[in-house]
Structures are given as structure tokens and as C-alpha cells.
């Protein structure tokens, strides 16, 4: 897969307009990086399976072609801390808006059909520095213990609904590890949002 070609083919001008409202327009400080470039960098991180923001920042600093494909100017790329701030600044709501808009574009282009869908869930382990006495130490206060494939896991569960034809995700939610969300709930929300005239069949 040519990652540069994939990034260059993405028309994300609408993301720039959508995300600018999360930045302050006046006051002290340097000019922020283009939010569409920051978002492309997040896509790059996923495509290349880069494990951390620190590794992502280092990769962009060393590889000028990838930095240019994301939309960063010459000799100026974000630090790993700015990527962390970017994700916190946008929050869950903005990411859901972006995901919904991308899904709508795929539906309108005919890439995403969704008549037959598959449902899957996976666990994400949370940070835990708690001692064996279960009293001292620190851990993620929002995480919960749930049953995973290899025993119990402290963390969260990502529920994803996939289009069986294109193998692309059409809906998702993140819940605590002990929670179960019926897949029909996500499908109903997705097809109501898209205002499609078909109903999915669960596999």
C-alpha cells in the first residue's frame, strides 16, 4: 500500500472547517498546525501501525515525504505532546462527527453498502499501577474489569459494526470492559443517521 498516495487522495478541507472551532483565534502563542494535517497524521499512525505519538513525531521529523503527504510545511512538524493535545482538544464528539461524515461519503459513493454487516468487539487494556493489595497504587478510575479471550481484563471494550461487503467499519462505540451493547443498537443509530432506505442483516 502506497501510504503517500492514500493521504494525497484524501480531500479533508471539510475537516479543516469542522475542527477550527476547537482552536482559539486570538491571544498569545504560535500559530497552530493545520488541523487537517494533524488528522492525516493520525490516519498515518494507524496505517503504519506506529505505536505512540512520540514515534509518530519522530517518523515525521525524519521522513520529509510523509510529512509533506500529511500537509506539514518544510522543517516544521509537531512534537509528540502536540499530538496528545490535539486529541484531547477535539474530544470524543469531534471524532464521532468526523467518522460519521466519512461514513456518509462512503455511502454516497456506493463504497459502503451495509446490507449485511458483521459485529465484533475487542478489549483495550487500561493503565494500572495498583498493587496486589488492591488498595495502594493508581489505575484508570473509569476502567472496569471484564472477561476477555484470555481471562479478565481491566479496561474498555470497543464494539464495531462492519460492512461485510467492503469490510469497512460503519459504526462503533467504546464502553467499559464489563458492559455489553447489542449490535442492533449501533446499526439502528447508523442507518437513522444516514437516512438509508435499507435495513441490515446481522451475521
Q: What single string gives the DSSP state of each residue in the chain?
A: --HHHHHHH---HHHHHHHGGGS-SSSSSPPPPPHHHHHHHHHHHHHTT---HHHHHHHHHH-HHHHHHHTPPTT----HHHHHHHHHHHHHHHHHHHHHHHHHHHHHHTS---SEEEEEEEEEEPPB---TTSSSS-B-TT-EEEEETTEEEEEEEEEEEEETTT--EEEEEEEETT----HHHHHHHHHHHHT-S---EE-
Show the cell assigned to 183.
449490535
Has residue 71 got a pLDDT over 70? yes
Asked whether residue 60 carries a pLDDT value surpassing 90, the answer given is: yes
Threshold 0.75, pTM exceeds = no
- Residue 138: the pLDDT is 75
Q: Provide the percentage of residues in the chain whose pLDDT is more than 70.
A: 79
Tens-place pLDDT, residues 99-114? 888 788 777 878 777 7
Position with higher pLDDT, 41 vs 174: 41
Structure confidence by residue, pLDDT tens digits, 143-154 = 888 877 777 888
Amino acid at each position: 500500500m502506497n501510504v503517500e498516495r492514500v493521504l494525497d487522495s484524501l480531500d479533508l478541507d471539510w475537516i479543516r472547517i469542522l475542527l477550527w472551532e476547537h482552536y482559539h483565534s486570538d491571544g498569545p502563542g504560535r500559530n497552530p498546525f493545520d488541523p487537517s494535517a494533524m488528522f492525516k497524521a493520525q490516519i498515518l499512525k494507524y496505517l503504519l501501525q506506529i505505536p505512540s505519538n512520540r514515534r509518530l513525531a519522530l517518523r515525521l521529523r525524519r521522513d520529509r515525504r510523509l510529512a509533506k503527504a500529511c500537509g506539514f510545511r518544510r522543517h516544521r512538524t509537531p512534537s509528540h505532546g502536540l499530538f496528545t493535545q490535539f486529541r484531547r482538544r477535539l474530544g470524543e464528539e469531534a471524532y464521532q462527527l468526523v467518522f460519521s461524515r466519512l461514513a456518509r461519503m462512503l455511502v454516497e459513493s456506493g463504497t459502503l453498502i451495509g446490507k449485511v454487516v458483521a459485529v465484533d468487539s475487542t478489549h483495550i487494556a487500561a493503565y494500572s499501577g495498583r498493587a496486589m493489595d488492591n488498595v495502594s497504587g493508581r489505575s484508570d478510575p473509569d476502567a472496569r474489569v471484564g472477561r476477555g479471550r484470555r481471562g479478565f481484563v481491566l479496561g474498555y471494550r470497543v464494539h464495531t459494526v462492519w460492512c461485510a461487503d467492503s469490510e469497512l467499519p460503519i459504526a462503533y462505540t467504546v464502553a467499559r470492559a464489563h458492559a455489553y451493547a447489542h449490535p442492533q443498537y449501533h446499526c439502528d443509530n447508523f442507518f437513522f443517521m444516514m437516512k438509508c432506505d435499507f435495513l441490515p442483516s446481522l451475521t
